[in-house]
Amino acid sequence: MRFQHIIEQVYFQPWYITPSGHFAIHAILESRLGLMPAGEAKPGTPLPRAGLMEDLFIQRRPMTIDSDGIATVHILGPLGRGLSKLEKSCGATDFADVQAEIRDAVAKGAKGLILDINSPGGTVSGTPETARLVAAKSLPTVAFVDDLMASAAYYIGAGADAIVAEESAVVGSIGVYIPWMDYSERIRALGYKPAPIVNKGGDLKALGFGGSLSDAQRSYLQDMVDADFNAFKNHVRAYRDVPDSAMRGQIQKGQEALASSLVDELGDRPAALAKLRSLIAARRS
């Protein structure tokens, strides 16, 4: 049943994520299901045991508070809600862990918070709640990215007091999509003819059954995607002056990202820490 949940989430639910990030999840899932070789492996090659996953992926580090009272929370890899130990061992981050660590930093008397972000984004479910917690700014907060801060990760970081990015870091990808795949031709090739029986007026009940969508079903999903995008855009606009031209789903970096107000400053980790210390000092005065 666990794979059933994962398959539904991966292929039939809306995502705040880059296409390349979603494809990586798709590839890992198919390799686990034995449908696609992982990496350079040939078909039939045994997959790594779950216990060895930590040797193959960068592991998310837990929250720390340094001697100056600066808390660091890591937002790494694909983001989701209710992730399994295996998914986390593959480098994913659970929204619940991020939320718990932010609250823990506040409870332990941290003076400021660094969100250390390297993520292509993740599921829609869990993103707005985490973003609102960050935007509440219980602590002076700086989001720092040295590599990738896209889609759901950008949604979360947008409400920080400041975003500092390395010049080569990639940010943005403000958008949402459902990775629908029409597999009706495959079903027909197998000799099946879908004929679901639904209640009268329930034309959306069997949405996608048989591998294709009716016009009404596609319109319904389009409305869902548009609503999720508007929530994303409105959140960004509440905290940042990002123009519509930078919210077409594209990524930006360096001076382009700075000009679009996707970030506040180009700099390294020490620059992000310096920015946070200035915010802490300003809040005290």
151 counts as catalytic: yes
What is the rounded (10 degree) CA torsion for 249, 252, 255, 258? 50
Question: Six-digit token pair at 207?
Answer: 């949405």
Other CB atoms closer than 10 Å to residue 32's CB: what's the count? 17
Tokens for 248, please give them.
Answer: 């077409």
Q: By the 8 A CB rule, do 263 and 163 touch? A: yes
| Residue 275 appears among annotated catalytic residues | no
- Per-residue pLDDT for the chain (285 aa), expressed as one digit of tens each? 355 567 667 776 788 888 778 878 777 777 766 554 444 444 444 444 444 444 446 788 999 999 999 999 999 999 999 998 888 888 899 999 999 999 999 999 999 999 999 999 999 999 999 999 999 988 999 999 999 999 999 999 999 999 999 999 999 999 998 888 888 888 889 898 888 888 999 989 988 888 889 999 999 999 999 999 999 999 999 999 999 999 999 999 999 999 999 999 999 999 999 999 999 999 887
Q: Can you tell me the distance from the alpha carbon of 219 to that of 95, in angstroms, rounded to the nearest whole number?
A: 30
Q: Angle at the Cα of 188 (from 182 to 189), degrees rounded to 5?
A: 105
Q: What superfamily does domain 2-178+249-284 belong to in CATH? A: 2-enoyl-CoA Hydratase; Chain A, domain 1 (3.90.226.10)
Q: Which one-letter amino acid corresponds to residue 270?
A: P
Residue 244 tokens, joined:
């519509």
Boundaries of every domain in the chain: 2-178+249-284
DSSP H helices in 190-244? 215-239
141: three-class secondary structure by DSSP? strand
Residue at 239: amino acid letter: Y
* Catalytic pick among 125, 151, 173, 260: 151
Strand partners, 1: none
Q: Does residue 150 contact residue 143 with C-beta atoms inside 8 Å?
A: no
